[in-house]
């Protein structure tokens, strides 16, 4: 039996807390492909991140903060639903024309906070599908965020290396001209349709693998589309547009509790930050995109300061997975890496179940409530739904948020508060690979060896053909020495625990 984190005293305390005091505004900032070692407060020296560092200095910096998967769509699904993504089919990396993955009626972080009286919005990258059975790009794009608890959305519908390059404002593509309809498909619309293969010499950023279909803004993408010329955005303007829209939304909703999910696209490929950030670092466009991400964080902080909302707002900063260098484009990330360690002391990165795939920057700040410091407690993005529900006095339905643990006392740095006692780590969910961290121990189940495309560790990891491998993280954070043969009883114990988690259907006790 998996020990439950649902400790009655914590729930009682935090329900009383929520009822007795002003509930904070909540901003969840999710970076994209940002590694543990990519920001200053986690050890980066080749790139400056003063605003993220300020968040950490004024709040709580977690050394064992995780996302739940090492790719985008499954982590975002788990963040919002509080359920591990492998439990639902179709939660792999969403295709350009994927239908809505989170169905109406599903309890989400947003719907829970609405029950607590919050106004809710998601601004930024969505990548969880729209519509049913497919997006209606020229009509109403529903179901979507507005059907699962958000009052407003302003989205990049997929991810920017996939088509189409348009904004979705609530239920419709913004600025779409009916005389120039938008078409999106997985096959070329005509034999002469320009692609990254046929017109490679015209690209301003070359591709290294895949990413060679329709060209927009001098960059070829995954998938095909035509039309919608008035609706298309310029890659360089993405961050500015989302910050501008977020600032306006916060100002318009400042008089009641609000929840903003700010889903940055930085530092995902194609890495095309605004011109004012280009050449800001020695790391090429990947490093420049980190600087742009840091600027976005700073702008949101300035808005809270200007509106005198800083002490009334809980900010949670995290990433959707670990780092990757060459993820399909020749943007200098590999050649200019120098001494920078994107995953810090860990091995692996995006696509892997090694620590570098899911252990990422994780910071909480709430001035006056969170005492600045560093926490070694294990916390995860999948826990935010249950934790924020407990903070705001909302009771979780028994059939919702199946793997979300109420660790809000740990997120707030309360004395003696504990985080998780175990954590499942997955990749895209199709390989059968999983990681299980329990205290200092880490079990990896590797059924299909994968390449992370992330040269993120200078430590050499011994190759192993074994399916199950055991590591002691305090002594071996880079997971270089398999201890399964030396510790057969611990290995057997964790294999059984992993299988129970995979088959049980849930880990949160109702």
Q: For 9-45, write each residue's pLDDT tens digit.
A: 344 444 434 433 569 999 999 999 999 999 999 999 9
pTM: 0.94
Who has greater pLDDT, 297 or 459?
297
Q: What is the mean pLDDT of residues 258-273?
A: 98
SS3 helix, strand, coil % of the chain, rounded to 5?
Answer: 25, 20, 55
Domain(s) of CATH 3.30.1120.10: residues in the chain: 423-504
For the beta carbon of residue 180, count every other beta carbon within 10 angstroms: 13
pLDDT of residue 431: 86
Which range, of 198-212, 265-279, 343-357, 451-465, averages the lowest pLDDT? 451-465
Taking the C-alpha atoms of residue 220 and residue 131, their distance in angstroms, rounded to an integer, is 25
Percent of all residues in the chain with a pLDDT value above 70, rounded to a whole number: 93
Q: Give me the phi and psi of 364, to 5 degrees please.
A: -125, 140
Burial profile 337-372: b = 16 or more Cβ within 10 angstroms, e = fewer: beebbbbbbbbbbbbbbbbbbbbbbbbbbbeebbee
Residue-wise pLDDT for 188-208, tens only, equals: 999 999 999 999 999 999 999
**Separation between Cα atoms, residue 373 and residue 358, nearest integer Å:** 22
List of residues 6+ apart from 151 with CB closer than 8 A: 114, 119, 120, 121
Query: Rounded distance, CA 127 to CA 130, Å?
Result: 9
- Among candidate residues 164, 149, 170, the one with its CA nearest the CA of residue 98: 164
- Band the pLDDT of 457: cuts 50, 70, 90: very low
pLDDT tens string 199-236: 999 999 999 999 999 999 999 999 999 999 999 999 99
Average pLDDT, the chain: 93
Residue 448 banded pLDDT, cuts 50, 70, 90:
confident
Lowest-pLDDT range of 3-12, 130-139, 260-269, 390-399 = 3-12
Distance CA 16, CA 506 (A): 27
Say whether pLDDT at 291 is over 90: yes
- Delimit the CATH 3.40.720.10 region(s) of the chain: 8-422
pLDDT in tens, 305-358: 999 999 999 999 999 999 999 999 999 999 999 999 999 999 999 999 999 999
Taking the C-alpha atoms of residue 12 and residue 9, their distance in angstroms, rounded to an integer, is 5
Residue 6 pLDDT greater than 90, yes or no: no
Which pLDDT score, from 0 to 100, does residue 19 have?
Answer: 39
Given CATH 3.30.1120.10, say whether it is the number of domain 423-504.
Answer: yes
376-389 pLDDT, tens digit per residue, is 999 999 999 999 99
pLDDT higher than threshold 50 for residue 47 = yes
Residue 162's nearest CA partner among 225, 251, 207 is 225
Pick the CATH number of 8-422 from 3.40.720.10, 3.90.650.10, 2.40.50.140, 3.40.50.620: 3.40.720.10
What distances in angstroms separate CA 19 from CA 6, 24, 27, 173, one per listed residue?
A: 19, 12, 20, 40
Tens digit of pLDDT for each residue in 94-144?
999 999 999 999 999 999 999 999 999 999 999 999 999 999 999 999 999
Whether the predicted pLDDT of 292 surpasses 70: yes
Cα distance between residue 381 and residue 384, in whole Å:
6
Q: Which pLDDT tens digit goes with each residue over 49-68?
A: 999 999 999 999 999 999 99
């Amino acid at each position: 039996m998996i020990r439950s984190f649902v400790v009655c005293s914590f729930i009682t305390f935090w329900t009383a807390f929520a009822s007795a005091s002003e509930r904070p505004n909540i901003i969840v900032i999710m970076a994209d492909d940002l590694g543990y070692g990519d920001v200053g407060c986690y050890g980066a020296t080749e790139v400056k991140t003063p605003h993220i560092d300020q968040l950490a200095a004024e709040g709580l910096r977690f050394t064992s903060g995780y996302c739940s998967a090492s790719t985008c769509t499954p982590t975002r699904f788990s963040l919002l639903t509080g359920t591990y993504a492998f439990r639902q089919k179709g939660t792999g990396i969403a295709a350009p024309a994927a239908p809505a993955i989170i169905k109406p009626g599903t309890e989400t972080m947003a719907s829970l906070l609405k029950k607590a009286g919050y106004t809710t919005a998601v601004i930024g990258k969505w990548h969880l599908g729209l519509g049913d059975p497919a997006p209606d790009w020229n009509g109403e794009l529903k179901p979507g965020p507005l059907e699962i608890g958000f009052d407003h959305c302003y989205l990049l519908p997929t991810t920017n290396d996939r088509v189409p390059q348009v904004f979705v404002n609530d239920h419709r593509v913004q600025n779409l001209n009916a005389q120039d309809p938008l078409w999106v498909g997985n096959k070329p619309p005509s034999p002469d349709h320009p692609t990254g293969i046929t017109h490679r010499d015209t690209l301003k950023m070359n591709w290294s693998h895949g990413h060679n279909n329709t060209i927009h803004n001098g960059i070829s993408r995954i998938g095909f589309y035509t039309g919608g010329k008035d609706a298309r955005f310029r890659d360089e303007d993405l961050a500015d547009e989302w910050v501008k829209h977020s600032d306006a939304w916060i100002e318009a909703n400042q008089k009641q509790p609000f929840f903003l999910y700010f889903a940055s696209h930085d530092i995902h490929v194609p890495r095309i930050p605004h011109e004012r950030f280009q050449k800001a670092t020695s790391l090429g466009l990947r490093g420049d995109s980190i600087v742009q991400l840091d600027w976005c964080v700073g702008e949101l902080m300035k808005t809270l300061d200007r509106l005198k909302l800083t002490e009334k707002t809980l900010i949670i900063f995290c990433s959707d997975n670990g780092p990757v260098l060459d993820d399909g484009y020749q943007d200098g990330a590999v050649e200019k890496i120098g001494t920078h360690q994107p995953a810090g002391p860990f091995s692996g990165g995006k696509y892997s179940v090694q620590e570098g795939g899911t252990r990422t920057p994780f910071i909480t700040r709430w001035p006056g409530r969170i005492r600045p410091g560093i926490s070694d407690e294990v916390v995860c993005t999948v826990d935010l739904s249950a934790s924020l529900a407990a903070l705001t006095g909302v009771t979780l339905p028994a059939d919702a948020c199946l793997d979300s643990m109420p660790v809000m006392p740990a997120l707030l740095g309360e004395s003696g508060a504990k985080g998780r006692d175990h954590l499942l780590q997955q990749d895209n969910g199709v390989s059968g690979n999983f990681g299980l961290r329990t205290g200092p121990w880490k079990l990896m189940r590797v059924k299909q060896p994968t390449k992370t495309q992330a040269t993120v560790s200078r430590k050499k990891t011994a190759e192993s053909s074994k399916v199950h491998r055991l590591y002691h993280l305090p002594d071996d954070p880079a997971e270089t020495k398999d201890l399964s043969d030396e510790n057969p009883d611990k290995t057997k114990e964790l294999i059984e625990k992993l299988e129970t988690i995979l088959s049980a259907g849930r880990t949160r006790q109702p």
